């Protein structure tokens, strides 16, 4: 369906219009992300209940490594979203078409690089993360199979980024409904019927990811507008690629910075017993649903801010920021509250009471929920503020802030507070502290930008947003 020009929207949008438009954009994206998470949640829950705590620990030990290896490549998709949204906001049809074709080229190239890298270095990376010896073989097997599907995952993320830029968040939701259901069915079949356990859940995820990529590619191919994909025109366009990489590599590097800190923390969790690793895995899986739901407002902040800048409507930047912050925070409070109240039955999904390690796994999971899970809404604040900066085209500020606020602080914490106390509680508390500090710095950078824009426009640009 042909989209109206954003010039008209930003000229006439009221505060109520912004909240409505942002939430109509964010809710399908939120549901899409949650359904995508079902891939890993189904992996953990099914393999934990039918394969046992050792299989659950094996899958859990790979979590942060998977994220670390694919974040840099998928970060470029943020650049694609930013550039496509700018072109869409400016009604630049030629620029949007070039962005689509260049983005697909980059997704294929980077996806293959990520897949090969992860496949051949699975075992060494797991050893670097201090994965327990009793689960190392199973973890390595899971990673190798999982990385066979990484090219498809990267392609999907790039194509979905293009669709988000033109405000189509519903089709990726339909794709996730179908492929998420398929993934769960394949998990049950391969684990319960064929007893493939860790290998089974990895195979199911790879198949589902591949189908998701095919479906979103077909969506772009069938489009009749400027974002139509013509396969024979897929190519590297240096100017577009440079701009995508400028923003995207910064976003990817920021994700890697977070991941490095998380891998270090995971390595410290791995020094405890396998039950602690399993409990950490279960709680982390639940927290990911909250993080992904709030991440929809991070994506909305990037997309709407980029479109506003493309339409030359700077006065809308801060109303967009506040609409995303308020909506995301309310959502976070609700979800964190539910997780805190229902932590025991939710953690029980991942392990049977008859498992010998049941009590230890549940205790470890509850500790993580108490110190990280119920404060996930603070992490949402941090990411939304970062999204506004990226929508402005900023690259250095959010990256440096994340480097200091997340990586450096958490590493310092590991070698000081945790080294002294040595408990899971003392390790986990570093998360909310780093979120608060990083959010505060992001807001400072936004206020500096606002002051400069105010001066540049003689004060008129912000009459409606003060």
Per-residue pLDDT of the chain (466 residues; tens, 9 = 90+): 444 455 545 555 556 778 888 999 999 888 887 776 666 666 777 888 788 878 888 887 787 677 666 667 667 788 899 999 999 989 999 999 999 999 999 999 989 998 998 899 888 988 887 788 888 899 999 999 999 999 999 999 999 999 999 989 899 889 988 988 898 899 999 998 998 989 998 999 899 999 999 999 999 999 989 999 999 999 999 999 998 988 888 777 777 777 677 777 878 888 887 888 888 888 988 888 898 889 899 989 999 999 888 888 888 899 999 999 999 999 999 999 999 999 999 998 888 788 888 888 899 999 999 999 999 999 999 999 999 998 898 878 888 887 788 778 888 898 899 989 988 899 999 999 989 999 999 999 999 998 887 777 655 544 443 3
416 class by beta-carbon count within 10 Å (0-12 exposed, 13-18 middle, 19+ buried): exposed
DSSP label of 163: H
So where are the chain's domains? 17-454
Q: How far apart are CA 66 and CA 146, in angstroms?
A: 9
Q: How far apart are CA 351 and CA 257, in angstroms?
A: 31
State how far the alpha carbon of 435 is from the alpha carbons of 44, 108, 321, 384, 441, in Å. 27, 33, 18, 12, 10
With beta carbons less than 8 A apart as the criterion, state whether 61 and 279 touch: no
pTM: 0.78
Q: How far apart are CA 457 and CA 317, in angstroms?
A: 14
218's CB contacts (< 8 A; 6+ apart) are none
Ordered alpha helix ranges (H), 166-225: 170-188, 197-222
Q: How far apart are CA 389 and CA 206, in angstroms?
A: 34
DSSP label of 195: -
DSSP label of 194: S
Other Cβ atoms closer than 10 A to 324: 33
State how far the alpha carbon of 149 is from the alpha carbons of 71, 82, 194, in Å. 15, 25, 21
């Amino acid at each position: 369906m042909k989209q109206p020009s954003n010039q008209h929207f930003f000229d006439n949008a009221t505060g109520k219009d912004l909240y409505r438009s942002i939430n109509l954009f964010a809710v399908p994206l939120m549901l899409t992300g949650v359904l995508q998470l079902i891939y890993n949640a189904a992996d953990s829950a099914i393999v934990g209940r039918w394969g046992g705590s050792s299989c659950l620990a094996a899958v859990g030990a790979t979590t942060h490594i998977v994220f670390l290896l694919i974040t840099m490549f998928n970060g470029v998709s943020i650049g694609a979203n930013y550039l496509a949204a700018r072109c869409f906001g400016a009604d630049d049809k030629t620029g949007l078409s070039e962005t689509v074709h260049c983005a697909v080229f980059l997704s294929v190239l980077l996806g293959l690089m990520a897949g090969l890298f992860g496949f051949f270095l699975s075992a060494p990376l797991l050893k670097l993360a201090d994965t327990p010896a009793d689960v190392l073989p199973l973890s390595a097997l899971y990673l190798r199979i999982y990385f066979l599907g990484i090219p498809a995952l990267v392609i999907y993320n790039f194509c979905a980024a293009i669709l988000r830029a033109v405000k189509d968040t519903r089709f990726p939701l339909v794709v996730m409904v179908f492929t998420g259901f398929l993934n769960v069915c394949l998990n049950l079949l391969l684990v319960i019927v064929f007893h493939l356990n860790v290998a089974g859940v990895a195979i199911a995820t790879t198949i589902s990811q591949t189908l998701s990529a095919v479906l979103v590619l077909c969506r772009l191919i069938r489009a009749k507008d400027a974002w139509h994909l013509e396969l024979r025109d897929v190519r590297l366009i240096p100017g577009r690629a440079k701009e995508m990489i400028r923003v995207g590599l910064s976003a990817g590097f920021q994700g890697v910075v977070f991941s490095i800190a998380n891998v270090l923390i995971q390595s410290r969790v791995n020094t405890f017993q396998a039950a602690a690793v399993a409990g950490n895995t279960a709680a982390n899986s639940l927290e990911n649903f909250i993080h992904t739901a709030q991440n929809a407002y991070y994506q909305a902040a990037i997309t709407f801010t980029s479109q506003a800048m493309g339409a030359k409507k700077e006065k809308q930047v801060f109303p967009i920021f506040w609409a995303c912050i308020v909506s995301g925070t309310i959502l976070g409070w609700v979800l964190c509250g539910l997780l805190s109240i229902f932590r025991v039955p939710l953690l029980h999904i991942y392990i049977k009471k008859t498992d010998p390690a049941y009590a230890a796994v549940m205790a470890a999971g509850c500790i993580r929920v108490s110190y990280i899970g119920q404060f996930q809404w603070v992490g949402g604040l941090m990411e939304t503020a970062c999204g506004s900066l990226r929508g402005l085209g900023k690259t250095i500020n959010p990256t440096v802030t994340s480097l200091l606020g997340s990586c450096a602080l958490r590493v310092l914490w590991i070698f000081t507070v945790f080294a002294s106390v040595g408990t899971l509680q003392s390790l986990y508390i570093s998360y909310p502290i780093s979120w608060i500090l990083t959010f505060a710095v992001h807001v400072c950078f936004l206020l500096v930008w606002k002051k400069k824009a105010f001066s540049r426009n003689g004060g008129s640009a912000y009459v409606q947003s003060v």
